[in-house]
Amino acid sequence: MVLELRVPQLAEHFTRAEFLQEGQHLLPKLLAYAMSFVIVAIFWVNHHGFFHALKKSDGKLLWYNNFLLFWLSLVPFATAFMGEHPKCVEAIMCYGFVLLMAGLAFLLMGNYVLFKSDLISNVIGEETKKRIYRRNFPGVILYTTSVLSAPFSIWISWAIFFILPLYYFLPRQVEME
């Protein structure tokens, strides 16, 4: 993602005003990069916690994981598109859609592990499994909202992109039942 951040083109002896004017064009890209970095970091931390709770894996889980990784691999493109065109509805929708699909992929992977396999420890009770699974719903719902609301207000989408990571920022400990 950081490869999309280019050093501003300035004369050899530039003024502070020239620097600030060029830097102003870089601000949306820096903002989009920082936001995406935090979001990818949250996915990574939760992904690590998710796999740490498993007693084993299988081929199906690996393909669910590949589905997640596919969508996360598109984050740099969506970030660059939105950073270059921060007020463009299509760029905002693209970014929201990529995050929606990554969230959905994580949800599907969780559904498989928690309810359709024997990959997770049996000491986790059904209520805890449901609570872990439901924790992913706000992301899917709000990223869907970001995509659908962008044609009406890109600012609703931007607000979702900033606020939703706060919900997922700190990984939660799994309480055994």
Domain boundaries, the chain: 14-168
Q: Where are the alpha helices (DSSP H) in the chain?
A: 16-52, 59-73, 75-84, 89-115, 126-134, 137-149, 154-168
Q: How high is the pLDDT of residue 80? A: 92
Per-residue pLDDT of 55-86, as tens digits, reads 888 999 999 999 999 999 999 999 999 998 99
Q: How many CB atoms lie within 10 A of CB 19?
A: 12
Residue type present at position 95: Y
Per-residue pLDDT of 116-167, as tens digits, reads 777 776 667 778 778 877 888 889 999 999 999 999 999 999 999 999 998 8
Model confidence, pTM: 0.83
Query: Which are the contacts of 169, defined by CB distance < 8 A and separation ≥ 6?
Result: 38, 42
Rounded to 5°, the CA angle 113-116-120 comes to: 40
Confidence of residue 177 (pLDDT cuts 50, 70, 90): very low
Q: How high is the pLDDT of residue 176? A: 44
**Tokens 């992913």 -> residue:** 136
- Phi, psi dihedrals of residue 54, rounded to the nearest 5°: -85, 145
Round the average pLDDT of the chain to a whole number and report it: 85
The answer to whether residue 94 scores a pLDDT higher than 70 is: yes
Taking residues 20-43, report their average pLDDT. 85
- C-alpha of 116 from chain center: 25
Higher pLDDT, 3 or 70: 70
Q: How high is the pLDDT of residue 28? A: 84
